[in-house]
A and B are shown apart, each in its own frame.
Chain A
Amino acid sequence: MNERERLLRRIQAEDFAVVETVLYLDGHPTNKKALAFYDKHRAIAKGLRDEYEGKFGPLTIYANNDMNDWHWIDKPWPWESGAN
């Protein structure tokens, strides 16, 4: 696993923690423990995302930070087995 894949795996794990907690919070909107868990993991995910996008290009259309080129269309796309 290269550095890009390692970083992506950590983002996938943190994002999954957020998605999973969001489902729970939708049905338990006042649960303080779940809110704290959500807050912790979304902060970690955001930091990792910024690091990834600085090194490997945008994960969303809002993160093309190179004003000399449009990297959104760069390979690999996520359905390539080496890219996800």
Chain B
Amino acid sequence: MWAYEKKLQYPVKIKNPNPLYAKIIISQLGGPDGELAAATRYLNQRYSMPYGEIIGILTDVGTEELAHQEMIAAILYQLTKNLSMDEIKKSGFDTYFVDHTTGIYPVSAAGVPFTAAYLGVKGDLFADLNEDLAAEQKARVTYDNILRLVDDPDVRDPIKFLRQREVTHYQRFGDALRVAQDNMNPKNYYAYNPEFD
């Protein structure tokens, strides 16, 4: 089970609201490579995994992704605080505002609601770990693109932290893949699925 800690993993202190930035960054909550998809993907992949090291990595990375959802939500909250109707209309945030006001609802930057189709859970450790390695790279690219679009250092600072965590998670999933390979017949990794056979 989980217990909530009343703190962010890394500080979010944004002085200037900016609804356009919120509209972009919300993709890392509810988009295809966002933190909601990441946490759900890893925590749900754990159950049939045969090796403790891999279950540990999925548990601990998945838990950290829950904390990243909260950081993204904190960024969105601060970016959309005390907005005037004029700012909402001019920024293009009006298309989100009309349905959700300034509440936090998981959508992609293009407005597509979050879907479980963003997750991959195959029940095969090689398929799932390669999914996870790709997911970390895709999330890293999304953060790189956000950094290309956002100038405010108050926003860039926590985004840079989150980007770096994707790099670290990619390396840890590399550890998980090594553990999987070390436990297999080195002449034929894919002869059977230790999660099922």
Q: Is B52 an interface residue (CB 8 A)?
A: yes
Q: Is B53 an interface residue (CB 8 A)?
A: yes
- Majority-rule SS of A interface residues: loop
Which residues of A lie under 8 Å from residue B47 when comparing CB positions?
79
* Cβ < 8 Å to A, chain B residues 1-53: 1, 3, 46-47, 52-53
In the bound complex, what is the Cα–Cα distance between A77 and B46 (angstroms)? 10
Which residues of B lie under 8 Å from residue A74 when comparing CB positions?
52
Number of interface residues of B (CB under 8 A): 9
In the bound complex, what is the Cα–Cα distance between A73 and B50 (angstroms)? 12
Closest 8 CB pairs of A and B: A73-B52, A73-B56, A73-B53, A79-B47, A77-B55, A72-B56, A75-B52, A74-B52
List 5 interface pairs A-B (beta carbons < 8 Å), by A numbering: A73-B53, A77-B46, A77-B52, A77-B55, A79-B47
Residues of A within 8 A of B (CB): 60-61, 72-75, 77-79
Residues of B within 8 A of A (CB): 1, 3, 46-47, 52-53, 55-56, 60
